[in-house]
């Protein structure tokens, strides 16, 4: 048992309660939350002056691209894709593993406890999940065979991966689809069928750029989201990334089908995709919107604290409306709405009795956290604090970082990623 003592608890429960108190963890679950718990625990962590919050959920990225950080900057998306696809073709299983370790190290150090990944060789990413203790939702990317650098058929690779990793601790295999620009109707529908057959979800890029939308419209007469709805792809198991170029009509189709959207503000701004995902309209129509960093080649970090701030301020700037995406909503997107996007809201995303113990403790005594009160703590987390304020991280009831020291070998990760990364991008 682990007892967290005397912290300011940001529960993210239904009432968004915030109070000073204790959290008792038994095994992988939160056993009790209260103003004062006097229980003999194996391990007590003094959280006086600190913030106890749910671990953040990063719902879109390509974690192993951490090793390709800053190798394709200041390019338009389609030039960016040419550049990264060329590097992709050179990738080895070894650098996918170490790239994943590097990304996970960075995520744990900045407060992420769950992440969604879209890439190939997800079995290497799964190994990194196992070796670090994080929670991974791993979508093996599928696309038409003629466009792939994967060996073998991407759909059968995805299914093989799912079969081999179902029911493993902290690993949730999913089916990925790269996007309408490289996947035919048959590929989309086969991907969905595999997901449904294994009770899992699909994860895919959707309407990220205007070019993608116009080209698809020229080819099929329909915008991507209309087309995906009409071919019967959309469902409650669909998690889309980006959703920048969507009409209100398309948003209604997403809502009607229960499609979730992972919003990636930093990546969209950096790649100059030119649009602003229509968040206020998605909220109005009842679409679940979560938050993602996208990969390190487009962000270039995986800091969800920074992502919350960009999500909040980008829409205020664009709409000339300071009330759009308030701090509480940004924190919701990074926590409980991330859980909803993964249909995991009964298990993760908030600090509530009976849920999985995925908890972070942030230093409440850094200058940017002061003054700290029940009223300022959420805006402080969103607008002023950064990922390096995260002191401890607990995932599935295991302490994976204590006083900013991870429990696995971080030094080797930095060393191997440096060697392999420099080689890959040279």
Contact set with Zn ion (CB under 5 A)? 294
Q: For residues 12 and 267, which CB has a smaller minimum distance to Zn ion in the complex?
A: 267
Q: Closest by alpha carbon to 387, among 363, 367, 370, 406?
A: 363
Q: For residues 13 and 294, which CB has a smaller minimum distance to Zn ion in the complex?
A: 294
Q: For residues 294 and 358, which CB has a smaller minimum distance to Zn ion in the complex?
A: 294
* Residues 21, 6 contacting (CB under 8 angstroms): yes
Q: Which two tokens stand for residue 15?
A: 């009432």
- Could you tell me the smallest distance in angstroms from the CB atom of residue 224 to Zn ion? 15
Q: Spell out the residues 6+ positions from residue 417 whose beta carbon is closer than 8 angstroms to its own.
A: 66, 67, 98, 99, 101, 102
- Could you tell me the smallest distance in angstroms from the CB atom of residue 300 to Zn ion? 13
Alpha-carbon distance values, 267 to 74, 125, 308, 336, 349 (Å) = 12, 22, 13, 22, 23
* Residues 117, 125 contacting (CB under 8 angstroms): yes
Beta strands in 98-254 (DSSP E): 112-119, 135-142, 171-177, 202-206, 238-242
Q: For residues 22 and 294, which CB has a smaller minimum distance to Zn ion in the complex?
A: 294
- Could you tell me the smallest distance in angstroms from the CB atom of residue 262 to Zn ion? 9
Q: For residues 11 and 301, which CB has a smaller minimum distance to Zn ion in the complex?
A: 301
The CA-based angle 152-115-159, given to 5 degrees, is: 25
**DSSP designation for 271:** T
**DSSP designation for 241:** E
- State the Cα–Cα distance between residues 112 and 334, nearest whole angstrom: 9
User: Residue 57: beta bridge partners?
Assistant: 114
- Could you tell me the smallest distance in angstroms from the CB atom of residue 294 to Zn ion? 5
Q: For residues 31 and 88, which CB has a smaller minimum distance to Zn ion in the complex?
A: 88
- State the Cα–Cα distance between residues 74 and 197, nearest whole angstrom: 41
- State the Cα–Cα distance between residues 206 and 212, nearest whole angstrom: 9
Q: For residues 205 and 329, which CB has a smaller minimum distance to Zn ion in the complex?
A: 205
3-state helix, strand, coil in the chain (%, to 5): 40, 20, 35
Number of H helices, E strands in the chain: 15, 17
- Could you tell me the smallest distance in angstroms from the CB atom of residue 62 to Zn ion? 6
Pair type for strands 390-395 and 56-58: unpaired
Q: For residues 200 and 267, which CB has a smaller minimum distance to Zn ion in the complex?
A: 267
Q: For residues 106 and 294, which CB has a smaller minimum distance to Zn ion in the complex?
A: 294
- Could you tell me the smallest distance in angstroms from the CB atom of residue 176 to Zn ion? 10
- State the Cα–Cα distance between residues 336 and 28, nearest whole angstrom: 18
Q: For residues 212 and 294, which CB has a smaller minimum distance to Zn ion in the complex?
A: 294
Q: Which two tokens stand for residue 392?
A: 């401890």
Residue of closest CB approach to Zn ion: 294
Residue 95, Cβ neighbours under 10 Å: how many? 24
- Could you tell me the smallest distance in angstroms from the CB atom of residue 77 to Zn ion? 10
Q: For residues 302 and 372, which CB has a smaller minimum distance to Zn ion in the complex?
A: 302
- State the Cα–Cα distance between residues 355 and 309, nearest whole angstrom: 27
- Could you tell me the smallest distance in angstroms from the CB atom of residue 93 to Zn ion? 21
Distance of CA 258 to the CA centre of its chain: 19
- Could you tell me the smallest distance in angstroms from the CB atom of residue 244 to Zn ion? 12
**DSSP designation for 209:** S
- Could you tell me the smallest distance in angstroms from the CB atom of residue 308 to Zn ion? 18
């Amino acid at each position: 048992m682990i007892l967290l003592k005397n912290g300011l608890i940001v529960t993210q429960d239904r009432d968004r309660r915030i109070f000073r108190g204790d959290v008792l963890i038994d095994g992988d679950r939160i056993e009790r939350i209260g103003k004062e718990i006097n229980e003999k625990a194996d391990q007590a962590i003094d959280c006086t002056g600190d913030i106890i919050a749910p671990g953040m959920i990063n719902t879109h990225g390509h974690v192993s691209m951490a090793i390709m950080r800053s190798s394709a900057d200041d390019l338009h998306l389609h030039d960016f894709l040419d550049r990264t696809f060329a590097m992709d073709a050179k990738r080895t299983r070894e650098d996918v593993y170490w790239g994943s370790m590097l990304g996970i190290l960075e995520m744990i150090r900045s407060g992420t406890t769950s992440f969604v990944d879209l890439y190939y060789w997800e079995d290497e990413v799964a190994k990194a999940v196992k070796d670090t203790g994080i929670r991974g939702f791993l979508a093996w990317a599928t696309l038409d065979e003629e466009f792939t650098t994967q060996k073998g058929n991407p759909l059968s690779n995805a299914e093989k991966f799912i079969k081999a990793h179902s029911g493993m601790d902290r690993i949730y295999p999913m089916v990925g689809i790269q996007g309408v620009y490289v996947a035919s109707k048959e590929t989309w529908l086969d991907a969905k069928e595999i997901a449904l057959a294994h009770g899992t979800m699909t994860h895919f890029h959707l309407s990220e750029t205007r070019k993608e939308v116009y080209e698809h419209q020229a080819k099929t007469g329909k915008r991507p989201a209309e087309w995906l709805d009409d071919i019967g792809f959309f469902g409650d198991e669909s998690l889309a990334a980006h959703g920048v170029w969507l009409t209100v009509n398309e948003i209604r189709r997403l809502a009607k089908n229960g499609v979730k959207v992972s919003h990636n503000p930093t990546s969209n701004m950096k790649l100059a995709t030119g649009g602003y995902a229509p968040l206020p309209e998605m909220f109005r129509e009842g679409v679940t919107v979560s938050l993602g960093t996208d990969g390190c080649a487009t962000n270039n970090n995986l800091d969800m604290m920074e992502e919350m701030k960009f999500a909040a301020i980008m829409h205020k700037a664009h709409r000339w409306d300071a009330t759009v995406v308030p701090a509480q909503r940004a924190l919701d997107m990074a926590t409980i709405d991330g859980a909803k996007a993964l249909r995991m809201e009964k298990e993760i995303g908030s600090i509530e009795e009976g849920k999985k113990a995925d908890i972070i403790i942030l230093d409440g005594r850094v200058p940017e956290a002061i003054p700290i009160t029940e009223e300022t703590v959420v805006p402080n987390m969103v607008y002023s604090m950064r990922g390096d304020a995260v002191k401890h991280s607990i995932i599935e009831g295991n302490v994976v970082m204590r006083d900013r020291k991870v429990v696995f070998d971080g030094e080797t990760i930095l060393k191997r990623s440096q060697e392999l990364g420099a080689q890959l991008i040279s």
